[in-house]
Structure 1
Amino acid sequence: MMTSVKAVVFDLDGTLINSAIPFKEMKRKIISYLQSKGVTFELLNEEMLTVEILKLAVEDLKRKGFSEKQIAGALAQASKIMNEVELQSINNATLVDGVPETLKALKNRGLKLGLLTRSCHEYVKVMLTRFNLAKYFDAVAARDDVDQPKPSPEHAFYLLKLLGVDARETLFVGDHWSDAECARQAGLKFVFVGSWQGNRKVCELCYKSVNKVSDIVKIVDGI
């Protein structure tokens, strides 16, 4: 049984907004760059998660004797590529139906709201301003706010500290495996938004699952 809910944390892309980020293009650019810096050609592919691509690249460069400084430089450039692709997609993103009403309803219940995303902080700032959502959030943790973004629990711990709440009294709402795994490692109750089809691995980590983001209010009221 969960303790009383004091906060709800949301993922951004795919949960609150319909993202237009071309992830395969982003991965192609990152992989091409990493290969140019010495990463083994056949090691990486576009079907991998970005976090997996970067992890394998770092391990490969370490095995080949690259210095920490060289590896840090490669990661910084990869992050820059991600930022550029994200920011170029902004004008094509749309808001998920019912999001403003849902956030307002949760705030009216006295809950703190947080945003936990693997997108860069500049992208998040623009999106929240564009869709008039910034006023609902008490704290935001973007990819470049931490050394280890989700699925690492460090990302969630950073946001929980900003919110001033405990993991046991927080729901995490998202649509992706990285959200679910981050929630599991950080001790958050995860609520999956979307279709179960093709997401069984994610749903195994769920506290609850809903078809649409507006259903979160019912879950909060039922706890």
Structure 2
Amino acid sequence: MRQYKTYLFDFDYTLVDSSNGIVMCFRHVLDKHGYKNVDDRAIKRTIGMTLDDAFALLTGVSGREVLVSYRKEYVAKADVCMSDNTILFSEVTNVLQALKQQGSKIGVISTKYRYRIMEFVNRHFPAGFFDIVVGGEDVSKAKPSPEGVWYAMKQLNSDTRDCLYVGDCVIDAQTAQAAALDFVGVLHGTTTREELLAYPHIAIIDDLGTIRVK
């Protein structure tokens, strides 16, 4: 795998395992409103989607006002418990440090709110460790729209030839495809190798330690 000048990463199930926190927050809302038949795996399969889309899928609700109210209840719960129930994958710190040492820029593009990402990042990394973090509140259209990727590339003065996007799910693969970026899929989450192989990719890897750095 060649060296890139810029590496853009998804957050959940790519850099971190936030599944415990996410399940707790969804369960808090779903149980409250009587959706007790939704299992944890179904919840985990929505990681990477916007909260509104995830709740619509899990509950069958389509009304905008109801979905917004569910999202607000989720966010209030996440304010209390998300960061404490999120952990870095074991290889991530070493990989990111190596990328920075080789002179590459690194960033995060996520549907998760930027302030939530930064709450976690500030606990585990020095200030300014990431060159950019783009969250759900920073874009008008969520992934797989390339808006967030293009915004990050503009801020970092990067171009498509020298930028790699790394993510764990189909939404990430679609985002990279829409942005015309090379894509590496990582199998940290619930998306299978076969699902990712259906999209253009440089590699599908078991963990980020497979990203070779010089």
TM-score tier, shorter chain, comes to 0.7 to 0.9
The CA distance in 1 between the partners of 2:6 and 2:86, in whole Å, is 26
1:12 maps onto 2:6 in alignment: no
Within 5 A, what are the aligned runs for 1:57-206?
Answer: 77=69, 79-87=71-79, 88-132=81-125, 134-194=127-187, 198-205=192-199, 206=201
How far did residue 48 of structure 1 move? Answer: 7.7
Larger Rg: 1
Which secondary structure does the structure 2 equivalent of 1:22 belong to?
helix
Preserved contact between residue 171 and residue 188 of structure 1 (Cα < 8 Å) = yes
State the superposition RMSD in angstroms: 3.4
Return the alpha-carbon distance in structure 1 between the equivalents of residues 88 and 43 of structure 2: 27
Distance 1:145 1:197, change over 3 A: closer
**d(CA) in 1 for partners of 2:44 and 2:118?**
28
Matched-pair contact (CA < 8 Å) for 2:7–2:105:
yes
Secondary structure of 1:115's partner? Answer: strand
TM-score normalized by the length of structure 2: 0.75
Structure 2 gap ranges (5+): 34-41
> How many residues of Structure 1 are paired with residues of Structure 2 in the alignment?
197
Helix, strand or coil at the partner of 2:21: coil
SS where residue 21 of structure 1 aligns? helix
SS in structure 2 of the partner of residue 136 of structure 1: coil
Deviations 1:82-105 (A, max 9, x none): 433433222121111121111111
Runs (5+) with no aligned partner, structure 1: 34-44, 62-70
What's the CA shift for 1:133?
5.6
- Mapped to 2, the partners of 1:24 and 1:199 lie a distance apart of 27
Deviation for aligned residue 1:110: 0.9
